[in-house]
Amino acid sequence: MRTIVYTEPGSPDVLHLVDRDIPTPGPGEVRVRVVVSAVNPTDWKSRQNGTVEFPEVTPNQDGAGVVDALGDGVSTLEVGDRVWTYLSARNRPTGTAQEYTVLPAERVVKLPAGTSFDVGATMGVPAMTAHRALTVLEGGPDRLHAGALDGRVVLVAGGAGAVGHAAIQLARWAGATVITTISSDEKAELARRAGAHHVVNYRTEDTAAVVKAIAPDGVDIVVEVSIVQNADLDADVVGQRAVVSMYADDGGATAELAVRPNMSKNTRYQFVLLYTIGETAMRAAVEDVTEALIAGALPVGEAAGLPLVRFPLAETAAAHQAVQDSVTGKVLIDIGDTTSAG
């Protein structure tokens, strides 16, 4: 089979296309014939800055495809099931940038009928991170469903990114009023297509004034991509006992928080890293995202506010570079029969 591997950390140039034997699933594992692999920032950061703990590593946490073989003891899936995967390369050498990948059965999730492989491949890191960010409000829901966030106001920083896009969609599905900040007219249109009720261009508008006019009692949840840039804004616009859910590290920069404005509102700051949220939160995210998929609440593509930028498997290095360069949209790698990807 064709697979992308690297044996040392570094730039996208360390990624190589090679031929390897098709792997056999062990007990509790399944083999997935990968149709679409997705690239997230965590993938290039792990490749560039991580430690290579195996003789060779195949990158990419997320993907979608078809169950091809079952290991002993697997009863939750069947050969032929259309599935999406998450944390595929977490503590394992086998990510989704290859024609077949073997994974623990619990990291492989059935795709609802009618859900495309493209949608499935985008669910893992972005949608599950967004789910966690939206479910850590004190007194708020720890599960998402239609109506779960009725009466709440959610501010999504960077609504044109993959996590921001998923946060807009999930919050809208759950009944929240959704405000998002963006940096251009192009991204504003994408955020509107994703379902944001209000879009604020932070480069040309007084963001705090606009947000407070929309939500005079304050924002309940901030899904924050850049706490370094937005700390003062968040402290200004949140309401009492709000939460600021931070899922990005701004390249290792240090944020400064004003004590008194946050203390007076009892603001909670919640760090969010999908890898370490725990199995209970992980399972809740998988189940709720599946329900959102069944409801048709998580479409992708330009018309849905998340353009798809596609590469063939042989150009995985270019796909990683595109994400590293902050391309607008979701980067996908076509691997299998994409005629059925939808």
- Homologous superfamily, domain 2-122+306-340: Medium-chain alcohol dehydrogenases, catalytic domain (3.90.180.10)
Predicted pLDDT of residue 341: 40
Predicted pLDDT of residue 306: 98
Predicted pLDDT of residue 337: 74
State the helix-helix crossing angle for 185-194 and 162-173, rounded to 10 degrees.
40
Between CA 245 and CA 223 the distance in angstroms is 5
56 CB-near residues (< 8 Å, 6+ apart):
5, 6, 7, 93
Residue 274, CA distances (Å) to 144, 296, 309 in order: 17, 23, 24
Between CA 72 and CA 81 the distance in angstroms is 17
Sign of the torsion formed by the C-alpha atoms of 301, 323, 174 and 192: negative
- How is residue 162 written in tokens? 């993959």
Predicted pLDDT of residue 293: 98
Instruction: For the full predicted model, state whether its pTM sits above 0.85.
Output: yes
* Residue ranges covered by each domain of the chain: 2-122+306-340, 129-275
Between CA 80 and CA 33 the distance in angstroms is 10
Residues of the chain with pLDDT under 50: 339-342
Question: Which residue spans within 27-149 are E strands per DSSP?
Answer: 29-39, 62-70, 82-85, 100-104, 108-110
Helices (H) and strands (E) in the chain, counts: 10, 15
Q: How confident is the prediction for the chain on average, in pLDDT?
A: 96
CATH of 129-275, one of 3.90.180.10, 3.30.410.10, 3.40.50.720, 2.60.40.10: 3.40.50.720
